[in-house]
Structure 1
Amino acid sequence: MNNIPCVKLGIVSVSRDCFPISLSERRRRDVVSACQTAGIEIFEAPTCVENERDSVKALAEVQEAGVNALIVFLGNFGPESSETILAQRFQGPVMFVAAAEETGEDLYDGRGDAYCGMLNCSYNLALRGVRAYIPEYPVGTATDIVSMIQDFIPVARAVIGLSKLKVFSFGPRPQDFMACNAPIQPLFDLGVEIQENSELDLLVAYRQHEKDPRIEGIAKEMAEEIGSQNPYAGILPKLAQYEITLMDWAEANRGSREYFVFANKCWPAFQTEFGFVPCYVNSRLAAKGYPVSCEVDIFGAVSEYIGVCIANDAVTLLDINNSVPKDMYDADIAGKYAYTLQDVFMGFHCGNTPVCKLKKANMSYQRIMKRSLEPDSEPNITRGTMEGDLVDGEITFYRLQGNARGKLTAYVAQGEVLPVATRSFGGIGIFAIQEMGRFYRHVLIEKNYPHHGAVVFGHYGKAIYSVLRYLGVEDISFNQPSGMLYKTENPFA
């Protein structure tokens, strides 16, 4: 997958000066050895931190080694000030973990009390305003800590990526999609850079690529990807020209940023001026790791990017779109899957989902737009969608959002796409999430979320939740199980 960071791990052990430093050093070596056995590359800083000068020395060691994600390992109680100063000065995500005691046969000089040290560590992190990743249970043996490190890697990749991310947006949000027009100040607070542009800027750039020699090659690549399910092959040169335009724009405007995503207006003037719908290009770029959100949904694009970093896989952005008709539910779902009618819904978008996440993907046209733009003719300017039912299997539906008051909020819900035909158009699937009806009412509606949600293909709720916590999002909702009431839920309903 392109457009995401490579995580270079480093580990620094720390030691309280009244405990044996050799204990922390030995335990650090055990963790590094266990990482190597698990195939995890990690830089072992030679300095074990006992004081602030040591923290400066250890920091220099990991910086020289190119480490961009740091593990601070409490091999014993640890020096609470020095270890948190190290995290404060390190420019990147940091995880704190602590060594478990190893044997009841050596609880005199072999006892490290790191279980206790983690408590003081957490207090000092708060004093210094330092964010850190602390596992659900951060104390363990070397083997346990390897598992914690494996969980940390995708979180670190997302945090690093966001800190070096630029969002390119084109056009104002559509009038009737104000829900996507969220205050962007919280994204700047996270370190995300945003360049807002006019649709005219994009149109001028597109026209400048009219005779670009790369168009033929990209169009051929598109034709090979689509295969025989392509009744609108004549639109491919225009789509290829558009794809080249977007990628050239990013390269020319990324500045100091290493990674980028797009949030682009895609209707209604887009069709009349560009002569196509951009959905298939959006799907192709998303498949490569460059998400393109529809309807200038900046938070949607950033949400998608989080999923790309975590899963190292293609994601999509869908409308939480329509209910499943009861006759379809009774015929295809009831008695076959453990979901109620309120647990299921259809996730849809015009055609932006990558081909690799669709069954029988085919090139088509945007039916909704055709009704108003080409009601009495064959599809022309509404061509360019990539359609098909979504592949079935596990999914995570999630979103990072700036609410109307400029505060970051988020939701995460795990579920699945059912292997049930949708009998509809667009990139679409029947989604099933336990207790979705209650989640829909008391999270999505109650907390004013827009219709767009990001979808990553697999169960990644644990990692996404950890990233959101690391970013400082305080309001993170999930689909609460039956019997666990939402704050606004009527207990007598």
Structure 2
Amino acid sequence: MINIPKVKLGIVAVSRDCFPIELSKKRSNAVVEACKKEKIEIFQVDTIVENEKDCLKALKELKDANVNALVVYLGNFGPEGPETILAQKFQGPTMYAAASEEAADGLIDGRGDAYCGMLNASYNLALRKLNPYISEYPIGTPNEIAHMISHFHQVAAVILGISKLKIFSFGPRPQDFLACNAPIKPLYDLGIEIMENSELDLFEAFNNHKEDSRIKDVVKEMEKELGEGNAYPGILERLAQYEITLKDWMENNLGASEYAVFANKCWPAFQTQFGMVPCYVNSRLASLGIPAACETDIYGALSEYIITCATEIPATLLDINNSVPEDMFNDNIKSFKGYKLNELFMGFHCGNTPKSCMKNAAMKYQRIMHRQLEPGKEPDITRGTLEGAIRPGDITLFRLQSTAGAQLRSYVAEGEVIDVNPNSFGGIGIFAIKDMARFYRYVLIGKRYPHHAGVAFKHIGKVLFDAMKMLGIEDISFNQPENMLYKNENPFK
């Protein structure tokens, strides 16, 4: 997968000068060994930081080794000034953790007091307005610290990806989907670049690729990927032309950024002018790690990208779309494993989900657009969707969104896709999330979220929640159990 950062971890041990430096050396070595056993690659800085000069030496070692995510390890109490200057001067996400004591017979000359040292470190970090990753319980044995570092690796990927991301959008956000329209100022607050373009810019670039020699090769790739699902081979040339157009736009306009996503207007004028539905291309780009959100959903594209960085597998963007009929629920009651009917919903989109995330998939046409644009005719300009049942298994719903008042908020909810035929069209599946009805009412509706949700095809809630905290998002919602009332929830049931 391309377009996501490669995290290179580094670890710096710190030591307060009135404690034995050997304690930090020994304990840091043990953490690195534990990481090796867990197959976690990490660069160990030779310099043990006791003072500010040591801090500068350590920073040079980190820079020379191209480390982009730092673990500051308190092998003993640690010097609160130099150890927090490390995070202040280091250009990347930082984690803090501390050593637990090993044995009862080492509590005279071998006591490190790192439990206490983390308190001083946290206070000094706050003075510097720094927000590093600190585990729920950041004191541990070497094996426990290695586990924390593994988690931090995924969180760091999100932070690094966002810090070097550029969002390309084409066209105004649609009138009938104002929920997708949100202020872009918070993107700059996160360090994200955005390049908003007219649909005419995209149309011109598309037309300039009409005779592109690469089209034939891309068509062959598409034919191979679709296999027996290649129901409309006549549309592949237009789709290939569009895919090449977007890839070239990204390469030619990335500028100072390293990664990019797209948020493109996709209907209804798109079909009449471009002559196809772009969904299949969006699915292919998502498979590469380049989410391309439809309906000019800028924050939807960002949410997909955050998921992709966290999981290193493709994500998708779906409508939280329709309820599950009661007869379907009753006929498949064993498959729903104790879920209530109102904890189920269908996640749907026209055909943008990567083929690898689907149980079955085939090239089809967009039925809703066809009714409007080609009624009673054989599908032509409405061809281009990738449709089928979304594969069953674990999922996480996620979205980062700006309010109308330019405040960032987010939600995370883990669940699953049930292996029951949704008996409908599009890329679609039956989703199950505990306490979904209340989450739907008091988070999605209550906090005015749009209809699009980013979907991760694994349980990744902990990573996404911690990444949002590192980004400074204060409002992070989740599907609260019944004994935990939402704000403004009526307690009289």
Q: TM bucket by the smaller chain?
A: over 0.9
How do 1:205-284 and structure 2 match up within 5 A? 205-284=205-284
Which residue number corresponds to residue 408 of structure 1? 408
Quick check: 1:116 aligned with 2:116? Answer: yes
Which amino acid is 2:304 matched to?
E
Task: Between 333-342 and 391-400, report the one with greater CA deviation.
Answer: 333-342
How do 1:95-106 and structure 2 match up within 5 A? 95-106=95-106
**Shift of residue 177 of structure 1?**
0.4
Instruction: Rate the CA distance shift 1:335–1:265 in 2: closer, same or farther, 3 A.
Output: closer
The Cα offsets for residues 174-233 of structure 1, whole Å up to 9 and x where unpaired, read as 101001111111111110110000100000000000000000010111011111122211
Find the aligned partners of 1:395 and 1:63 in 2 and give their Cα distance: 37
How do 1:33-432 and structure 2 match up within 5 A? 33-333=33-333, 336-432=336-432
The SS at the match of 1:135 is strand
TM-score normalised to the size of structure 2?
0.99
Instruction: Rate the CA distance shift 1:336–1:409 in 2: closer, same or farther, 3 A.
Output: closer
CA contact (8 A) 1:334 1:340 kept: no
Find the aligned partners of 2:88 and 2:38 in 1 and give their Cα distance: 29
**Shift of residue 37 of structure 1?**
2.1
Which residue number corresponds to residue 476 of structure 2? 476
CA contact (8 A) 1:389 1:427 kept: yes
Which residue number corresponds to residue 441 of structure 1? 441
Find the aligned partners of 1:336 and 1:236 in 2 and give their Cα distance: 38
Query: How many residues of Structure 1 are paired with residues of Structure 2 in the alignment?
Result: 493
**Shift of residue 336 of structure 1?**
4.5
Which amino acid is 1:339 matched to?
Y
Find the aligned partners of 2:367 and 2:335 in 1 and give their Cα distance: 33
The Cα offsets for residues 380-399 of structure 1, whole Å up to 9 and x where unpaired, read as 11000000010000000010
Which residue number corresponds to residue 8 of structure 1? 8
The Cα offsets for residues 455-493 of structure 1, whole Å up to 9 and x where unpaired, read as 010100010111111100000000001211111110112
The SS at the match of 2:467 is helix
Which amino acid is 2:274 matched to?
F
The Cα offsets for residues 386-428 of structure 1, whole Å up to 9 and x where unpaired, read as 0001000000001000111101100000000000000000000
CA contact (8 A) 1:291 1:304 kept: yes
The Cα offsets for residues 308-342 of structure 1, whole Å up to 9 and x where unpaired, read as 11110010000000011111111113675110011
Find the aligned partners of 1:173 and 1:61 in 2 and give their Cα distance: 46
The Cα offsets for residues 135-168 of structure 1, whole Å up to 9 and x where unpaired, read as 1111101111111111111111111111011101
Instruction: Rate the CA distance shift 1:158–1:241 in 2: closer, same or farther, 3 A.
Output: same
Find the aligned partners of 1:38 and 1:360 in 2 and give their Cα distance: 35
The Cα offsets for residues 287-322 of structure 1, whole Å up to 9 and x where unpaired, read as 111100111111111110111111100100000000
Find the aligned partners of 1:380 and 1:39 in 2 and give their Cα distance: 51
Find the aligned partners of 1:282 and 1:33 in 2 and give their Cα distance: 42
The SS at the match of 2:82 is helix
Aligned-pair RMSD on alpha carbons? 0.9
CA contact (8 A) 2:335 2:418 kept: no
Which residue number corresponds to residue 465 of structure 1? 465
Find the aligned partners of 2:370 and 2:451 in 1 and give their Cα distance: 22
Find the aligned partners of 1:407 and 1:447 in 2 and give their Cα distance: 12
Which amino acid is 2:15 matched to?
S
Instruction: Rate the CA distance shift 1:334–1:41 in 2: closer, same or farther, 3 A.
Output: closer
Which amino acid is 1:70 matched to?
L
Find the aligned partners of 1:338 and 1:414 in 2 and give their Cα distance: 16
Gaps of 5+ in 2: none
Find the aligned partners of 2:79 and 2:336 in 1 and give their Cα distance: 57
Instruction: State the identity %.
Output: 63
Find the aligned partners of 2:450 and 2:153 in 1 and give their Cα distance: 30
Quick check: 1:486 aligned with 2:486? Answer: yes
CA contact (8 A) 1:166 1:192 kept: yes
Which amino acid is 1:101 matched to?
E
